[in-house]
A and B are shown apart, each in its own frame.
Chain A
Amino acid sequence: MTTATAEIAAPAARRWSAALRPAEWQLVLPLALAYAAFFLVPLVLLILVSFFDDEKITTMGGAQWTKFLGDRFTWKVIADTLKLGVFTVAATSLIGVPVALVYLGASARWQGVILFVVILPLLTSVVVRTFAWIVILGREGVINQTVLWLGLSPAPLRLLQTEHGLVIALTQIEMPLLLLPLLSVMSRMDPNLRDASSALGASKWRTLFRVTLPLSLPGLVAGCMLVFASSTTAFISQLVIGGNRLVYLPLLIWQQSLVVYNWPLASAAALTLLVSVGLGVAAIAAVGRRGHAWALR
């Protein structure tokens, strides 16, 4: 009797297990749920909160937005934040691209060394790196001692709490974000392409500008996007090196949310940061596409 039941039950069980086997789209559910819970929900909350007029979050309205965007100081902060991103992207690219080219031409052993040096900053905490930069950039820091010793300037340079100093520090801090995608694209490039170019009579420079760089462009664009997004939102470095004199959007958000406790205004500032960084990244992507079209011309 038991065997008979089992025989009847078996196809049913099979049908059940088939029904329980997840379809492929269901496999993405855990990630999608985590995404919804930790990204979409907070974002929606952020948008909602920004539309309250008072700090106690009781009456809805657009007063905070009008106040925030109507303030000329806000626009200066937005501009400074974007400028910081642009400068950091420019500085990391100017140093990173030659480094990547050196990497490309190096022997396997040296490539390992370069890669290690590139990754090294990622292995230390941002806080530690930032404080190290204070030691380097300070009045009695390494840079100033060198400058004075070389007689390049009569008095120590002011580097801490200046935009220059911050860009210098961010350049080192964000460098891995530029180099990793760039190196990965470059080292996947067929070395025969460069040989083919020179066999066709192209000089080193022609090969660089017509073959190597255009083909590395996707990596460079990806790296620039990461550096831009990361440097404009680098709260700790901005605060520790820039101090209170340099105000960027992250600092504004922190002041409004945790010092003044004006959450609607903080939310408006946070959304502004999100949008402006998003626009900046989109602009880099557009420039990248232009560059690609130019290389293809």
Chain B
Amino acid sequence: MTGTRGHTLDIVAVTHRYGAVTAVADVSLAVRAGEIVALLGPSGCGKTTLLRVVAGFVRPQAGSVRIDGAAIDGLPANLRNVGIVFQNYALFPHMTVAQNVAYGLEARGRPRAEVRRTVETFLDVVRLGDFRDRLPRQLSGGQQQRVALARALAVEPTVLLLDEPFNALDKGLRLDMQIEIKRLQRQFGLTAILVTHDQDEAMSVADRIAVMNHGRVEQFDTPVNVYDRPATLFVSGFVGTTNLLRGRALEAKNGCAVVTLDAGARLTVRTERAFTAGVPVVLSARPEQLCLYTAPAPERWSVTRRLSVPLGPNTMHDLETRDGATLKLIEPRHAYGVDAKEEVWCGLRPEAEPGLFDASSI
């Protein structure tokens, strides 16, 4: 179990096409040893294809995959020592739990006694010792998934690939398994890639998130940075909820930009990006970055409140701006007691750093 510690995985400029469809376009990711990276993106953005490239099931048209710095492009899947857990688990239906876990060890020609010992160890690791003689179809979804994990881990892979492993599980079980995977990954110091299109899952399990769209990686960063400082408009919309406010940039200097919103306000926003004066921009503000006021002031725009619903300790307001855009706003519940028809004013919270993006690109 020492062999699994500390392997780096480098995906270098990988491109893969299926006929005319470019499934993966020039993707580069450097995964550190012992790190768990989530591939997050909408359906069809190429997540599975990228995993299949790393596992060696498909040969990419361009690019290279390296483990500990050594290219493995020439190796067939069975010599790569990359563990994979499929979305549907892909347990061998004609073999018992123990035989499934033993499969990879036997394929490597390990002595019988060692195979038996290792199988026991890993069945204990996933807490399935009592189920060793059952067939996969006699197990629940969560148990099947733990067998798939044990089977992949038993051969001590250099890298563990997980393709939407929680998809088939209901919500409670999903959380348990997320914790379980995190625990095993820590225990073995595994380098892992987790494919998901569930942003909460990516946020809670991964050390870093690679957000993919149309075969490209739009941002590769920590969960906090992906959420707080989305690199692109797509990321800001895909990770978390956001409000898009259209407007124009007036000037940009000293890390600040002045924008006029179509909703009717002039704001100064902190941003590292440069904008030429007059370009259309989109301001992406999270619901919790906005604030409601009962009086007008500079940097506030008037909105009508359509609906307010309690959301745990918060209240979620559904608002409409003067130019017809809808906004979602979340703030701690307090006793304003403002009537639903009353006109209110919306502004950015003082500490908020909303994203500002060039809209001429969309």
Write the residues of chain A forming the contact surface with B, with a CB cutoff of 8 angstroms: 190, 192-193, 195-204, 206, 210-211, 214-215, 292, 295-296
User: Is the pair A214, B94 in contact by a Cβ cutoff of 8 Å?
Assistant: yes
Q: Which of B55, B94, B104 contacts A201 (CB 8 A)?
A: B104
User: Is the pair A201, B107 in contact by a Cβ cutoff of 8 Å?
Assistant: yes
Q: Which of B77, B92, B95, B107 contacts A195 (CB 8 A)?
A: B77
User: Is the pair A200, B88 in contact by a Cβ cutoff of 8 Å?
Assistant: no
Q: Which of A199, A206, A292, A295 contacts B77 (CB 8 A)?
A: A199
Nearest B residue to A215, CB-CB: B94
Q: Which of B76, B94, B152 contacts A198 (CB 8 A)?
A: B76
Q: Which of B57, B86, B103 contacts A202 (CB 8 A)?
A: B103
Q: Give the residues from 75 to 108 in chain B that come closer than 8 angstroms, CB to CB, to chain A.
A: 76-84, 86, 88, 90, 92-96, 103-104, 107-108
What are the 5 tightest A-B residue pairs by CB atom distance, in nearest-first order? A200-B104, A192-B90, A202-B107, A201-B107, A196-B90
User: Is the pair B95, A296 in contact by a Cβ cutoff of 8 Å?
Assistant: yes
Q: A196-B86, A198-B76, A199-B84 are in contact. Are A215 and B103 (CB under 8 A)?
A: no
| A200 vs B103: C-alpha distance when bound (angstroms) | 7
Chain A residues, Cβ within 8 Å of B155: 200-201
| A210 vs B77: C-alpha distance when bound (angstroms) | 17
| A154 vs B153: C-alpha distance when bound (angstroms) | 63
Chain B residues, Cβ within 8 Å of A203: 78, 107
| A200 vs B86: C-alpha distance when bound (angstroms) | 12
Q: A193-B90, A214-B94, A295-B94 are in contact. Are A199 and B107 (CB under 8 A)?
A: no
Most chain A C-beta atoms within 10 Å of own C-beta, residue among B52, B57, B78, B93: B78
Q: Give 6 A-B contacts (CB < 8 Å), ordered by A residue.
A: A195-B52, A197-B107, A199-B152, A201-B81, A202-B78, A292-B94
Q: A295-B94, A296-B94 are in contact. Are A199 and B83 (CB under 8 A)?
A: yes
Chain A residues, Cβ within 8 Å of B82: 199
| A202 vs B106: C-alpha distance when bound (angstroms) | 9
Q: A198-B77, A201-B155 are in contact. Are A215 and B104 (CB under 8 A)?
A: no
**B7: CB under 8 A from chain A?**
no
Chain B residues, Cβ within 8 Å of A295: 94
| A211 vs B108: C-alpha distance when bound (angstroms) | 16
| A193 vs B151: C-alpha distance when bound (angstroms) | 13
Nearest A residue to B80, CB-CB: A199
**B152-177 contact mask (Cβ, 8 Å, vs A): 1 or 0:** 10010000000000000000000000
Q: Give the residues from 148 to 203 in chain B that come closer than 8 angstroms, CB to CB, to chain A.
A: 151-152, 155
Most chain A C-beta atoms within 10 Å of own C-beta, residue among B79, B93, B151: B93
| A200 vs B152: C-alpha distance when bound (angstroms) | 7
| A285 vs B323: C-alpha distance when bound (angstroms) | 75
Q: A199-B83, A199-B84, A200-B151 are in contact. Are A206 and B107 (CB under 8 A)?
A: yes
| A193 vs B108: C-alpha distance when bound (angstroms) | 18
Q: Shortest Cβ distance from B9 into chain A, in angstroms?
A: 15
| A124 vs B152: C-alpha distance when bound (angstroms) | 50
| A256 vs B151: C-alpha distance when bound (angstroms) | 63
Q: Shortest Cβ distance from A267 into chain B, in angstroms?
A: 44
User: Is the pair B103, A199 in contact by a Cβ cutoff of 8 Å?
Assistant: no
| A199 vs B76: C-alpha distance when bound (angstroms) | 9
A197-B107, A201-B155 provided; 19 other pairs, C-beta below 8 A? A190-B90, A192-B88, A195-B57, A195-B86, A196-B84, A197-B92, A198-B78, A199-B56, A199-B78, A199-B82, A199-B83, A199-B84, A200-B78, A200-B152, A201-B81, A201-B104, A201-B107, A210-B92, A296-B94
| A284 vs B253: C-alpha distance when bound (angstroms) | 84
